Amino acid sequence: MAGKTLIKLDGISISFGGVHALQNVDLEILEGQTLCLAGENGGGKSTLIKIISGFYRPDHGTIEIDGKQYSHFTPKQAIDLGIQVIYQDFAIFPNLTVAENIALSAERLDGRKLVNWKNVKKRAQEALDMINVKMDLDAILADLPVASKQLVAICRSLLQHARLLIMDEPTTALTKNEINSLFKVVRDLQAKGISVVFVSHKLEEVYEIAEQLVILRNGKKVIEGPIKDFDRKKFIYHMTGREIESETFTVKNIGSEPLLEVKGIGIKDLFADISFKLYAGEVLGITGLLGSGRSELARALFNLEKIDTGEVLLEGRKLDLKNVKDAINAGIAYVPEDRLTEGLFMPQTISRNMISAVIERNLNGLGLIDTPGVRARSEDWVKELKVKTPSTELPVQALSGGNQQKVVLAKWLATKPKVLILNSPTVGIDVGAKADIYAYTRRLAEEGIGVIIISDDLPEILDNCNRAIIMKRGRLAGEFITSEMTESRLTDILAEAGGEGGAA
Amino acid sequence: MLKKAMKTNEFFVLIALIILCIIIGIANPVFFTTGNAVSLMKNSIVMGIMTFALMPGIVAGGIDVSFPAIAVCGMFTTSKIMQNIDYSGPVILPILMSIGIGTVLGLLNGLIITKFSLPAFIVTLGTSSLYYGLLVTLVGSKPVNRLCKPMEDFGKAVMISGNSGSVTTSCTWTFLFLLAVAIIVYLMLKYTMLGRGIYAIGGNRTSAERAGFNVNGILIFVYTFIGACAGLAGICHTMQARICMPTDLMGSEMLCIAAVVLGGTNIAGGKGTVIGTTLGLILITVARSSLTLVGVDSSWQQMIVGIVIVGGTALSAYKELRNSRKIAKILED
């Protein structure tokens, strides 16, 4: 499969303000090769991508492409050489049509000053044909699902004569089916001789798609080799620099009475007849495809959506919640799916974020925020959850995804919940931070909290929950003990419903 | 096709406009005379030029509140100089001069906004004061009561006139400038890479940068264009009024922004059309100039114009919000 060398990086180093972001990194990508670039957040992956795509100029080292040596590229040079990056946000224009998103950049690079709409549509269609995808050219991108946006981004780079396609964590927001079709597209590209650099920290995907694996840690290349030489343990060891044991969660001491009892709840158009029990000390999984109603159910338990029918009992008493404040006071905490928009106040400090759900419990005699107390408590949380930060007074936006998620967790633990609901708690988080979060939820369960994990990451459900329920199209579709279930069987069960749920 | 059109903002503005026209027309049939139509044309010129120029700025995710000050700088400096030298050449020179002054001031706005990455609102709020202050200090504040002859003649020349009863109203050739600006903006936004770049920046600035658009260059152009058109609008205003008051036009920025937003342009950028802006402009012009026709006391006018603006923009915003909140149905019946 692999042919000649396409691009070769030699001894690349770059530092920002005295911090070495990359140190003496070599990298060789062959034509038609699919290479996986892995590493924890802050490991140097993004920096390396930015150097290849011309956004950063390395302090040392050379880049060789087509037999010519460069000390750096400009972004335009990189594009002209056929280097294309598909960013996590796909760098699309939500307000423009599919056709324009695909073809505009290429038209512009051809030096056109005027827009020929017929030509734009023709080229967009050609690009879609190249990856065998059908899409309405006149649809506005904001109205399309994430997977389509990504395909649009891929089409756009193909039109710009991509020879090297760098995909930055392309599967984060995709469902299993969408990932499969993305992989099909990647294989097609490979067959056309286009090289792909795939940034990911999901081992399962790396195995499925990549040939070569490069792992970066703390700005250095720690190991490189054909993917078949790596097993899970080796992969994780090199990613994190430590051994992480993943063992299945087993309940230690379970309560005799249900902590939370959900009786036939439903919301019009979203879900119906949902009943389950959660015991203290349990970690209950709720899984289902995107659009199965799993997130909506979680939001309803926290009173972010009003239920129309049924009732919820906490410790045997019927819950009558008027708002989120009531839910917090009753002892329910909810860690949302999207920490950036729902979970954190990004410019605020870590300590302020940590107390933001319980400000009234952190006041001094004058009714003002008890700053020394808050600082001390948040320092405890930082230690407890292993948040990597030099100070609790830094803005949350300075942290990596995994550490941000730990801050969200601390914020909700500060409410001293009886029931902790985690909605997709490890999306976009690296292995190390994941392990910390899992270990902590287990400890919470052991301390008698009832934990609910909502996720479509099946290993996450199987390893960390003792019991799980399945949702399909807004209804309960089964319940199982995780130790009696395998990943492949669960995948089959989820797929049985005939693909995706009704939601886009 | 019709169904699609009915969902657009333009459609709502059109309906609102028709209703307003019918109400005013019933209350006072003079509204439907050629005289009134010509009067509306005339009244829309100055504000219209500025509105059409402002629209691409808002589409790009920016804003400009300094254009009335720029317009005043252009018209007053030009009028004063031309009067002093007793200019008698072709009228195009003073027009170009005012446009030139506007261009320089607009360029300055663009440079400050892009070079220092400052919010456009703050910068133009500041430069508005700065430009106007400089004008009053350096050039003076006493009105120019007599324009030079070419400007005065151009301001008297009638392009079209109409009657309402015994009164004849006329519109000057400056109307062609309004038309020209509208057409230029339309073509630019729809058929040039620059125009698509403006939409791209308004949609997602980072994406536009990554796609290789010269974002700062485009933004500098946008503010320069607003400045140039403000200069043009200013000189048109002076020629129509045949007197140059440095206090005129100041404060008209809100009406222009309102016309743009009423016409369906997203105040946060990314969306906006010339057709919509035209409707927004007509709506505001009608609301402003026709209220006297239905016997609304002038003290009420400002309030009613305010209601139209708040109501119209709130409606657009509400529609946007409802669209974004649409929940996908999961449960099957």
Predicted confidence band of residue B324 (pLDDT cuts 50, 70, 90): low
Rounded CA gap, A339 and A404, in Å?
A: 8
Which residue of chain B has the CA closest to A500? B330
Chain B residue numbers with beta carbons less than 8 Å from the beta carbon of A109 are: 212
Q: Which residues of A279-301 are buried (b: 16+ CB within 10 A; e: fewer)?
A: bbbbbbbbbbbbbbbbbbbbbbb
Contact A502 B330 (CB under 8 A): yes
Contact A95 B191 (CB under 8 A): no
Residue A215 CA: distances (Å) to CA of A62, A203, A220, A239:
20, 12, 8, 6
Residue A158 in tokens: 């193909």
Domain assignment present for residue B268? The answer is no
Rounded CA gap, B127 and B106, in Å?
A: 10
Domain assignment present for residue B292? The answer is no
* Segment B178-193 mean pLDDT: 95
Alpha helix stretches (DSSP H) within A370-485: 371-385, 401-413, 431-446, 458-464
Q: Is A85 on the interface with B (CB under 8 A)?
A: yes
Greater pLDDT, B309 or A130: A130
Which residue of A77, A114, A304 is the best one to mutate when testing the B interface, meaning the one whose CB has the most B CBs within 10 A? A114
Residue A146 in tokens: 């994430």
Paired with A167 in beta bridges are: A86, A198
Q: Is A76 on the interface with B (CB under 8 A)?
A: yes
ipTM: 0.82
The residue range of the domain holding B94 is 46-251
Residue A175 CA: distances (Å) to CA of A85, A145, A494, B277:
22, 11, 11, 41
CA atoms within 13 A on the CB side of B65: 14
Q: Which residue matches tokens 């969902």? A: B7
**What domains can you pick out in chain A, each with its CATH number?**
5-240 (3.40.50.300), 247-331+417-504 (3.40.50.300), 348-414 (no CATH)
- The size of the A-B interface in CB pairs under 8 A is 97
Contact B203 A95 (CB under 8 A): yes
Residue A343 in tokens: 């979970």
What is the model's pLDDT at position B126? 96
Contacts of A142 (CB under 8 A, 6+ apart): A94, A95
Q: Is B327 on the interface with A (CB under 8 A)?
A: yes
Q: Is B199 on the interface with A (CB under 8 A)?
A: yes
What value does the mean pLDDT of chain B take? 88
Q: Is B328 on the interface with A (CB under 8 A)?
A: yes
Chain A residue numbers with beta carbons less than 8 Å from the beta carbon of B192 are: 113-115
Greater pLDDT, B106 or A498: B106
Domain assignment present for residue B95? The answer is yes
Domain assignment present for residue B297? The answer is no
Domain assignment present for residue B205? The answer is yes
What is the model's pLDDT at position B53? 96
B150: left (phi over 0), alpha (psi -120 to 50) or beta: alpha
What is the model's pLDDT at position A500? 44
Residues A407/A335, Cβ–Cβ less than 8 Å: no
pLDDT in tens, chain A (504 residues): 457 888 999 999 988 766 778 889 999 999 889 999 988 766 788 889 989 988 888 999 999 988 888 888 888 788 888 999 888 777 789 899 999 999 988 888 788 888 889 999 999 999 888 888 888 999 988 888 878 888 898 888 888 888 999 998 887 767 777 788 888 888 888 888 899 998 887 777 888 888 899 998 888 898 898 988 888 788 888 887 776 666 777 777 787 888 999 999 998 888 999 999 999 999 999 998 877 888 889 888 888 888 889 999 999 888 888 888 888 889 999 998 777 777 888 888 999 999 888 888 888 888 888 888 889 999 998 998 888 888 888 888 888 778 888 999 999 888 889 999 999 888 777 778 888 888 888 888 988 899 999 988 888 898 899 999 999 888 898 899 988 888 888 888 887 754 444 333
Predicted confidence band of residue B96 (pLDDT cuts 50, 70, 90): very high
Chain B residue numbers with beta carbons less than 8 Å from the beta carbon of A269 are: 327, 329-331
Residue B73 pLDDT greater than 80, yes or no: yes
Which residue of chain A has the CA closest to B201? A93
Burial class (CB in 10 A: 0-12, 13-18, 19+), B81: middle
At A225, the amino acid letter reads G
Q: Taking the CB of residue B250, how many other CB atoms lie within 10 A of it?
A: 14
Paired with A13 in beta bridges are: A60
Q: Taking the CB of residue A342, how many other CB atoms lie within 10 A of it?
A: 14
What is the tally of structural domains in chain B?
A: 1
A225-229, B6-10, B31-35, B181-185: range with lowest mean pLDDT = B6-10
Q: Which residue matches tokens 């140097």? A: A44
Contacts of A7 (CB under 8 A, 6+ apart): A27, A28, A29, A52, A63, A64, A65, A83, A164, A195
Q: Is B1 on the interface with A (CB under 8 A)?
A: no
Give the rounded distance of the alpha carbon of B117 from its chain centre: 25
Nearest to A210 by CA among A235, A183, A232: A183
Q: Taking the CB of residue B174, how many other CB atoms lie within 10 A of it?
A: 23
Residues B46/B155, Cβ–Cβ less than 8 Å: no
Residue B293 pLDDT greater than 80, yes or no: no
Q: Is A93 on the interface with B (CB under 8 A)?
A: yes
Which is it for strands A83-86 and A164-168: parallel, antiparallel or unpaired? parallel
Which residue of chain B has the CA closest to A476? B331
Rounded CA gap, A218 and A15, in Å?
A: 12
Greater pLDDT, B21 or B305: B21
**Nearest Cβ partner for B331 among A79, A96, A473:** A473
Domain assignment present for residue B29? The answer is no
Chain A residue numbers with beta carbons less than 8 Å from the beta carbon of B190 are: 115
Distance from CA of B333 to the nearest CA of A (A): 8
Q: Which residues of B289-309 are buried (b: 16+ CB within 10 A; e: fewer)?
A: bbbebeeeeeeebeeebeebb
Domain assignment present for residue B20? The answer is no
Residue B7 pLDDT greater than 80, yes or no: no
Burial class (CB in 10 A: 0-12, 13-18, 19+), A359: exposed
Residue B27 pLDDT greater than 50, yes or no: yes
Chain A residue numbers with beta carbons less than 8 Å from the beta carbon of B193 are: 107-108, 112-115
Q: What backbone phi and psi angles, to 5 degrees, belong to A272?
A: -150, 155
Domain assignment present for residue B6? The answer is no
Angle at A210 between CA A208 and CA A213, to 5 degrees: 125
Q: Is A104 on the interface with B (CB under 8 A)?
A: yes
Which residue of B186, B191, B266, B331 is the best one to mutate when testing the A interface, meaning the one whose CB has the most A CBs within 10 A? B331
A24-33, B19-28, B318-327: range with lowest mean pLDDT = B318-327
Angle at A274 between CA A269 and CA A275, to 5 degrees: 165
Contact A95 B213 (CB under 8 A): no
**Nearest Cβ partner for A93 among B190, B207, B331:** B207
pTM to 2 decimal places:
0.76
Residue B42 pLDDT greater than 60, yes or no: yes
Which residue of chain A has the CA closest to B211? A105
Distance from CA of A172 to the nearest CA of B (A): 19
Contact B212 A113 (CB under 8 A): no
What is the model's pLDDT at position B50? 96
Residue B134 in tokens: 């400089």
Rounded CA gap, B125 and B333, in Å?
A: 55
Q: Which residues of A184-203 are buried (b: 16+ CB within 10 A; e: fewer)?
A: ebbeebbeeebbbbbbbbbb
The interface residues of chain B toward chain A in range 229-268, judged by CB-CB distance below 8 A, are 266
Residue B266 in tokens: 């997203």
Nearest to A472 by CA among A263, A237, A205, A290: A290
Angle at A409 between CA A403 and CA A411, to 5 degrees: 110
* Segment B209-237 mean pLDDT: 93
Rounded CA gap, B109 and B229, in Å?
A: 14
Chain B residue numbers with beta carbons less than 8 Å from the beta carbon of A294 are: none
Predicted confidence band of residue B2 (pLDDT cuts 50, 70, 90): low
Which residue of chain B has the CA closest to A475? B331
